[in-house]
A = this chain, B = another copy of it.
Amino acid sequence: MSAPLRKPAPRAPGTETAVTTPGDREIRTERVFDAPRERVWRAYTDPGLVAQWWGRGNPVDVERLEVERGGHWRFVEHGPDGTTYGFEGRFREVTPPERLVQTFEWDGMPGYVAVDTTTFEDLGDGRTRIVVTALFHTREERDGMLESGMETGLNDSYEALDRLLAGQA
Question: Chain A 75-100, CB within 8 Å of chain B: the 1/0 string?
Answer: 00000000000000111110000000
Query: Which residues between 104 and 130 of chain A lie within 8 Å of chain B, taking CB atoms?
Result: 105, 107, 109-113, 115
Contact A111 B107 (CB under 8 A): no
User: From A138, which residue of chain B is reached at the shortest CB distance?
Assistant: B135
Contact B110 A113 (CB under 8 A): no
Contact A111 B92 (CB under 8 A): yes
In angstroms, Cα B138 to Cα A101, docked, is 15
Contacts of A138 in B (CB 8 A): 135
Tell me the A residues contacting B by CB distance below 8 Å. Answer: 69-71, 89-93, 101-103, 105, 107, 109-113, 115, 135, 137-138
Contacts of A107 in B (CB 8 A): 70
Contacts of A102 in B (CB 8 A): 111
Shortest beta-carbon distance from A91 to chain B in Å: 6
User: From A136, which residue of chain B is reached at the shortest CB distance?
Assistant: B137
Partner of A103, one of B92, B93, B101, B111: B111
10 residue pairs of the A-B complex, CB under 8 angstroms, read A70-B110, A71-B110, A89-B111, A90-B105, A90-B110, A92-B112, A103-B111, A111-B115, A113-B113, A135-B138
Contacts of A89 in B (CB 8 A): 111
